[in-house]
C-alpha cells in the first residue's frame, strides 16, 4: 500500500503542477478573481480547479492497485462514479460561477442516493436508544443517509476558506478513518482512506501555505463526499463502530455549517446560502494571526498560518474519536466539548475579547503593526 500511496501523491502533485503551468489557457475561466466576494482572503487570480489533480492521482493509483487488490480499487472506483453529480456541479460552478448553493446541495443528495444503491451504504442506526428501532425501515434510513452525506459534502466546501484549511482537515479526518479501519481489519476502507489522503497531500504542496491553487467546489465536494461515504460504510460493515464516531470525525465542518445557517437566517435575516466573512476561520485570520512581513507576502503567510489553528481544533474531536470509536457516550461527550470550545472561541473573537495567548505575533515593523490595528478597527462591527 505504501507504493500505491506514493504513486497517488506523485501523480496528484504532477497533475496539479500541470494545471498551474497551463493556467495561461484556462485561467480566465478557472481563476478566482472576483474582488467583491465577501469571503475573499487572497490576492490576485488563483485557479480553483485543484480537485483535478486529486482525482487524477487517485484514478491512476486505482488502476495500478486493481490487479493486486480488486476490492479496494473497486470501492474507490464506485465511490468516484457515484460522486459524479456533485463533482460535476462543483466543477461547473468553479468555471462559470453560476451554480447556486441549493443546486449543488441537490447534486450532493443525488450522489449520496447513487452510493446508497451501488454500495448499500445506508445508515442502519444512529446510536440513540429508542430511535434506532425505526432505522430498520428504508423509508427512514435512506432519507437520513442522503441528507447526512449530502450535508457533509456541502459542509466541507464551507470550511474551504484559507490555504491548507479544508485539505489539511480532510487529511486528518482520513487518518482517523484509516486508523479505525486498520483496527477492524477492513482493508478496502483503509486503502481508500490512505490513497485519498496521499492525493490530497500532493495538492497541498501547491496550496499550503501560499495558495498557488485552490480546491474549488469540485475538489471540496469530492473529498467531503468520499469521507462521508467511508464513515457510513464503517458503520454499516462494523456494528461495533458507534455512529457517533462519524459525527466526531465530521463535527468541525458540520458545526461550522449549522452556526453559519443560524447566523445568516436568524441573526442577519439573509438566505442560508448567502456568503459572508464571519466564519470562525475569518475571525481567526483577523484577530489572532499577526505574524509576517508587510505587503503581499505577509498577507499570504497570514492566510496560510490560519489553517493550523483549525487543524488543532479539529484534533480535539478526532483524538477521542480514534481512541473511543465504539463508545457512544464518550464520543458524544467529545462532540459536546468541541461545540462548547468552538462557541467560546467564536464569541470571544466576535466581541473583540480575544485570548491573548492564542495571538501569533512577530516579523512586523511598528508601522505595519499600526496599520493592521487600524485595519482591524475598520471591520470592528460584528454581524447583526
Give 262 or 266, the one with higher predicted confidence. Answer: 262
Q: What is the mean pLDDT of residues 306-320?
A: 95
CA dihedral 346, 93, 51, 303 (to 10 degrees): -40
* 222-260 residue pLDDT tens: 999 999 999 999 999 999 999 999 999 999 999 999 999
Predicted confidence band of residue 383 (pLDDT cuts 50, 70, 90): very low
With respect to residue 236, please indicate whether it lies within any of the assigned structural domains: yes
* 44-83 residue pLDDT tens: 578 888 889 999 999 999 988 988 889 999 999 999 999 9
Q: Which residues pair with 289 in a beta bridge?
A: 360
Is the pLDDT at 368 greater than 60? The verdict is no
Structure confidence at residue 370 (pLDDT): 41
Structure confidence at residue 117 (pLDDT): 95
Give 333 or 101, the one with higher predicted confidence. Answer: 333
Task: For residues 335 and 319, give the distance between their C-alpha atoms in angstroms, rounded to a whole number.
Answer: 11
Give 183 or 31, the one with higher predicted confidence. Answer: 183
With respect to residue 196, please indicate whether it lies within any of the assigned structural domains: yes
With respect to residue 206, please indicate whether it lies within any of the assigned structural domains: yes
* 268-288 residue pLDDT tens: 666 666 777 889 999 999 899
Q: What is the mean pLDDT of residues 282-295?
A: 82
Give Cβ neighbours of residue 140 (< 8 Å, ≥ 6 apart): 134
With respect to residue 376, please indicate whether it lies within any of the assigned structural domains: no
**Taking Cα atoms as reference points, which of 142, 323, 147, 337 lies closest to residue 242?**
323
* 113-136 residue pLDDT tens: 999 999 999 999 999 988 999 999
Structure confidence at residue 37 (pLDDT): 54
**Taking Cα atoms as reference points, which of 19, 9, 17, 20 lies closest to residue 57?**
9
Q: What is the pTM of this model?
A: 0.89
Structure confidence at residue 269 (pLDDT): 67
Predicted confidence band of residue 290 (pLDDT cuts 50, 70, 90): confident
Domain count, the chain: 1
Predicted confidence band of residue 39 (pLDDT cuts 50, 70, 90): very low
Structure confidence at residue 85 (pLDDT): 95
Structure confidence at residue 43 (pLDDT): 55
∠ Cα 253 351 346 (to 5°)? 15
Structure confidence at residue 145 (pLDDT): 97
Give Cβ neighbours of residue 25 (< 8 Å, ≥ 6 apart): none
CA dihedral 82, 123, 99, 262 (to 10 degrees): -160
Residue 291 DSSP one-character state: E
With respect to residue 258, please indicate whether it lies within any of the assigned structural domains: yes
With respect to residue 126, please indicate whether it lies within any of the assigned structural domains: yes
Structure confidence at residue 373 (pLDDT): 41
Task: For residues 358 and 337, give the distance between their C-alpha atoms in angstroms, rounded to a whole number.
Answer: 19
Is the pLDDT at 376 greater than 50? The verdict is no
* 131-177 residue pLDDT tens: 999 999 999 999 999 999 999 999 999 999 899 999 999 999 999 99
Is the pLDDT at 26 greater than 80? The verdict is no
With respect to residue 352, please indicate whether it lies within any of the assigned structural domains: no
Locate all alpha helices (DSSP H) within the chain, ordered by sequence: 2-21, 23-30, 51-65, 70-82, 84-96, 101-119, 138-158, 165-183, 187-207, 216-237, 243-262, 280-287, 296-323, 328-350, 366-378
Computed over every residue of the chain, the mean pLDDT equals: 87
Is the pLDDT at 339 greater than 80? The verdict is yes
With respect to residue 310, please indicate whether it lies within any of the assigned structural domains: no
* Residue 273 neighbours by CB distance under 10 Å: 15
Query: Which structural domain range is residue 118 located in?
Result: 2-276
Amino acid at each position: 500500500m505504501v507504493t500505491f500511496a506514493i504513486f497517488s501523491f506523485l501523480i496528484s502533485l504532477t497533475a496539479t503542477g500541470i494545471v498551474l503551468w497551463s493556467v495561461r489557457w484556462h485561467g480566465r475561466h478557472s481563476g478566482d478573481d472576483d474582488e467583491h466576494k465577501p469571503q475573499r482572503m487572497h490576492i490576485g487570480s488563483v485557479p480553483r480547479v485543484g480537485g483535478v489533480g486529486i482525482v487524477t492521482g487517485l484514478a491512476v493509483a486505482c488502476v495500478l492497485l486493481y490487479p493486486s487488490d480488486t476490492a479496494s480499487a473497486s470501492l474507490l472506483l464506485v465511490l468516484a462514479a457515484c460522486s459524479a453529480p456533485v463533482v460535476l456541479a462543483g466543477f461547473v460552478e468553479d468555471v462559470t460561477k453560476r451554480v447556486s448553493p441549493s443546486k449543488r446541495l441537490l447534486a450532493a443528495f443525488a450522489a449520496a442516493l447513487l452510493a446508497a444503491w451501488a454500495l448499500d451504504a445506508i445508515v442502519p442506526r444512529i446510536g440513540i436508544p429508542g430511535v434506532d428501532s425505526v432505522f430498520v425501515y428504508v423509508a427512514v434510513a435512506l432519507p437520513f443517509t442522503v441528507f447526512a452525506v449530502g450535508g457533509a459534502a456541502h459542509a466541507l466546501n464551507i470550511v474551504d476558506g484559507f490555504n491548507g484549511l479544508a485539505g489539511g482537515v480532510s487529511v486528518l479526518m482520513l487518518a482517523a478513518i484509516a486508523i479505525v479501519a486498520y483496527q477492524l481489519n477492513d482493508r478496502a476502507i483503509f486503502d481508500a482512506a490512505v490513497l485519498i489522503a496521499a492525493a490530497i497531500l500532493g495538492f497541498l504542496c501547491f496550496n499550503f501555505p501560499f495558495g498557488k491553487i485552490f480546491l474549488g467546489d469540485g475538489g471540496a465536494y469530492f473529498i467531503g463526499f468520499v469521507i462521508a461515504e467511508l464513515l457510513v460504510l464503517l458503520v454499516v460493515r462494523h456494528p461495533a463502530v458507534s455512529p457517533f464516531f462519524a459525527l466526531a470525525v465530521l463535527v468541525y465542518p458540520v458545526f461550522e455549517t449549522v452556526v453559519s445557517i443560524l447566523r445568516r437566517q436568524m441573526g442577519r435575516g439573509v438566505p442560508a446560502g448567502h456568503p459572508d466573512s464571519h466564519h470562525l476561520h475569518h475571525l481567526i485570520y483577523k484577530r489572532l494571526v499577526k505574524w509576517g512581513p508587510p505587503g503581499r507576502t505577509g498577507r499570504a503567510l497570514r492566510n496560510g498560518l490560519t489553517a493550523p489553528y483549525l487543524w488543532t481544533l479539529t484534533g480535539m474531536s478526532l483524538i477521542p474519536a480514534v481512541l473511543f470509536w465504539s463508545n457512544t457516550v464518550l464520543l458524544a461527550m467529545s462532540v459536546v466539548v468541541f461545540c462548547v470550545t468552538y462557541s467560546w472561541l467564536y464569541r470571544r473573537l466576535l466581541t473583540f475579547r480575544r485570548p491573548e495567548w492564542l495571538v501569533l505575533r512577530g516579523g512586523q515593523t511598528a508601522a505595519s503593526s499600526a496599520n493592521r490595528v487600524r485595519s482591524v478597527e475598520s471591520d470592528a462591527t460584528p454581524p447583526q
